[in-house]
Structure 1
Amino acid sequence: MDKQQSRRNILKMLTASVATSSVGCSLITETPQQPKMLSTSKQDNWSKTFDRTWLGGEYWANPMEDWHIVDGGAECKNSSGSRTVHSLTHQIKYTAKAFKVSVVVKAIGTHNNVGGFGIRLGVRNEIDEYRSNCFVQKGLDIGIIGNKLSIDGKTTAMKMSIDDNDIELLLTATPQAGVMILSLDARLIASNQSIGQLTHMISADKVVGNLAVVSNFALRSNAPKTGNNCYRFTHWVMSGDAFEVNLDNKFGPILWSMYSLNDTRSSEGFVLKLSAITGPLGHEDNQVVELQVKRCGLWESLGTSQLDPDAWVASFRIANWDEKTQVEYRVIYREKHNDGSETPDVWSGKIIANPSARPLRMAALTCQNDYSFPYAPVVKNVQVLSPDIVFFSGDQIYESHGGFGIVRAPFESAITNYLRKFYQFGWAFREIMRDRPTLCLPDDHDVLQGNLWGEGAL
């Protein structure tokens, strides 16, 4: 086939035409919560979380394979640079307001603190969208490097070295005439002794955007892994009116769902297949997801499904589905905590009626490289189109997704490395997939083998 008319080029053109169509239909969605300011302090929930890779729905670990929860704290297990955990539900927006951020940090290892640790503010790119901002590897770094306190490169010596002590970093930000006065206090948790203080004045707009905790902020992301400490973070607390809070930004435990409806032309009639995807959980976490549908105004259970311990997918198959009726559904994951409590997570959508007596409307998408992640204009236009089916024809991910390269060994890290790239796909398109049948085919980049077939290869 002529290169100018390859499958990929044709599908790209089809995607562009579908995404920009203006059809007089709308997708009915749940009313989102409106963003609000932070009226009370917010602390992480890691102390109640079982050991696992996934840090929770309110956070994005970057990259996911380099972080895990151990004994109630988020630990970085890679000593290269710029490893971060972003808050998804809290961003700094109102620069005329004050805020505070604190976190307790402990070095893991006996090396010198050459890379630094602490808090990263003002993480944003030209899109300045909270999901896209998670993959920016720079910001305003505040913390400890060597035996010095540091705010955006300004340093002062501390009274003592950190050694293996638990250190609380308390950052206070006070607005004043278009600038922000940042004050950092470092204290020993064991004695509450202050071991250093530093104040620095910066332009207020430098704090706007995502905020994160950061391991080895002074090192490159591909720096050698030897000779550096890793760090453990606990008791991450945020407070103040400078924060915009949007709880709808939470991503998980149920990350998204996908479903299809198939006419088997057999005694099983139409078969509904639905998958619910969660983040990578731990051995002591709940491993079961429940599917419910609403009938006659009441929720009815259609059963439970065990999560696959590698893919973290719960799969449901329902035969003899009534394809003529639209039905509301929800999948429920009940997250267990180590104190015996339980938090339900609910992800809902609609199984739409099978279209009849009219042409089928299909949204076709392909080649989602992440330089325009999360593709908000495309998603919005597809929602306006209100298609009967969504077709992803391949290259939902690329090797470069999210940065930090490809991990092929060891096995567990390789799986998590792949999953967090795939999660970007679901994170971007989940609002479309929750209410529409979705077909998703792999291509070469989806298996991390660019040009494995076609284009002169197999």
Structure 2
Amino acid sequence: MNAWSFNRTVVCLIILLYTLLGCKGKIENKIVFKCDFTGTATPSRVGPEYTPYPLEDWQVSNGKLECLVSRENRTVHLLTPQLREGTFEMEVEVGFYNGDLVGNSKNWAGFNLGADNLSSDHAVDRKGLNIGVSTNGVLFIGTPSPNPKNKNVMKALPTGVNLKVQLRPETNNYVVNVAISDISTGKLLANISKNHVAIERWKGDLALVSNFQSNAKDQSSFTKSVWFKDWKIY
């Protein structure tokens, strides 16, 4: 084999290896669910693959899923798929409407993982693991954090951020990684991790959450709180 033939063979092998690795990556990151509201007549009720709670507090408009109020524990449960064991990734774009309730760690939007199916007592006792970003710009896993404000995240919330969660099994528990980035620039704004999350949590529904603490008689509670779009599960 001359030098030219040898070099050509090496190049072909490199290209083949690169292609195989690329295909493997695509298989591992295969999307198993993706919401798409772009073709939905607006405004309209949420589609049949979701269970909104309460029904009247959610709508689809301009390709986005909107929460029409700024009150506690407003959720949209996904009927399928449910949370599963093993490595798991999920992301969504989320933006905040209500500027009157910013800066409070108890006002937040994001995910609930492993929630019970909706029932009559759902509003009183909703289990599962909350993961999200508060209006003070701080990410949290479990309970919203009163940490000092993250002004870079706060600045991006009105126009929208990408919230991404990764669950990775480790021994008998899980590692949970959460990252948030600006959807207009793709820039990573913040990330957090939590180790030793109990494995028994990973059963139940997946849900989007809007949680705002406000007086029901206050006019701000009747203001749209957040929007979601491009919900993806891998």
* Matching residue within 174, 178, 185 for 1:191: 185
Q: Alpha carbons of 1:147 and 1:229: their partners in 2 closer, same or farther (altered >3 Å)?
A: farther
- Residue by residue over 1:170-195, the C-alpha shift from the partner in whole angstroms, topping out at 9 and shown as x without a partner, is 10110111211111100000000111
- Residue by residue over 1:185-226, the C-alpha shift from the partner in whole angstroms, topping out at 9 and shown as x without a partner, is 00000000111000012112223211101001x648969563
Aligned-partner Cα distance in 2 for 1:74–1:80: 16
* Matching residue within 60, 68, 78 for 2:69: 78
Residue type matched to 2:99 in 1?
T
Q: Alpha carbons of 1:40 and 1:163: their partners in 2 closer, same or farther (altered >3 Å)?
A: closer
Matched with 1:167 is 161
- Residue by residue over 1:108-132, the C-alpha shift from the partner in whole angstroms, topping out at 9 and shown as x without a partner, is 12221531111111212xxxxx454
Establish whether residue 226 from structure 1 lines up as the match of residue 216 from structure 2: no
> Once superposed, what is the RMSD of the aligned Cα atoms?
2.7
Matched with 1:148 is 138
Q: Could you tell me the TM-score, scaled by structure 2's length?
A: 0.74
Give the match's secondary structure for 2:42: coil
Establish whether residue 205 from structure 1 lines up as the match of residue 200 from structure 2: yes
Q: Could you tell me the TM-score, scaled by structure 1's length?
A: 0.39
Does 1 or 2 have the higher relative contact order (CA < 8 Å, sep 6+)? 2
Aligned-partner Cα distance in 2 for 1:100–1:134: 29
Residue type matched to 1:70 in 2?
S
Aligned-partner Cα distance in 2 for 1:92–1:133: 22
Please tell me whether the aligned partners of residues 163 and 180 of structure 2 are also in contact (alpha carbons under 8 angstroms).
Answer: yes
Give how far 1:90 is off. 1.2
Q: Alpha carbons of 1:222 and 1:178: their partners in 2 closer, same or farther (altered >3 Å)?
A: farther
Whichever of the two has the greater Rg, that structure is: 1
Query: Which stretches in structure 2 are left out of the alignment for 5+ residues?
Result: 1-28
Establish whether residue 110 from structure 1 lines up as the match of residue 102 from structure 2: no
Please tell me whether the aligned partners of residues 43 and 61 of structure 2 are also in contact (alpha carbons under 8 angstroms).
Answer: yes
- Residue by residue over 1:250-274, the C-alpha shift from the partner in whole angstroms, topping out at 9 and shown as x without a partner, is xxxxxxxxxxxxxxxxxxxxxxxxx
Establish whether residue 120 from structure 1 lines up as the match of residue 122 from structure 2: no
1:235-254 equivalences in 2 (<5 Å)? 235-239=230-234
Q: How many residues align?
A: 194
* Matching residue within 69, 77, 82 for 1:91: 82
Give how far 1:165 is off. 2.1
1:436-451 equivalences in 2 (<5 Å)? none
Please tell me whether the aligned partners of residues 123 and 139 of structure 1 are also in contact (alpha carbons under 8 angstroms).
Answer: yes
Residue type matched to 2:88 in 1?
F
Please tell me whether the aligned partners of residues 82 and 219 of structure 1 are also in contact (alpha carbons under 8 angstroms).
Answer: no
Matched with 1:367 is none
Give how far 1:40 is off. 3.7
Q: Alpha carbons of 1:179 and 1:189: their partners in 2 closer, same or farther (altered >3 Å)?
A: same
Q: Alpha carbons of 1:168 and 1:78: their partners in 2 closer, same or farther (altered >3 Å)?
A: same
Matched with 1:425 is none
Q: Alpha carbons of 1:158 and 1:44: their partners in 2 closer, same or farther (altered >3 Å)?
A: same
Query: Which stretches in structure 1 are left out of the alignment for 5+ residues?
Result: 1-37, 125-129, 240-458
Aligned-partner Cα distance in 1 for 2:93–2:121: 22
Q: Alpha carbons of 1:176 and 1:63: their partners in 2 closer, same or farther (altered >3 Å)?
A: same
Give the match's secondary structure for 2:82: strand
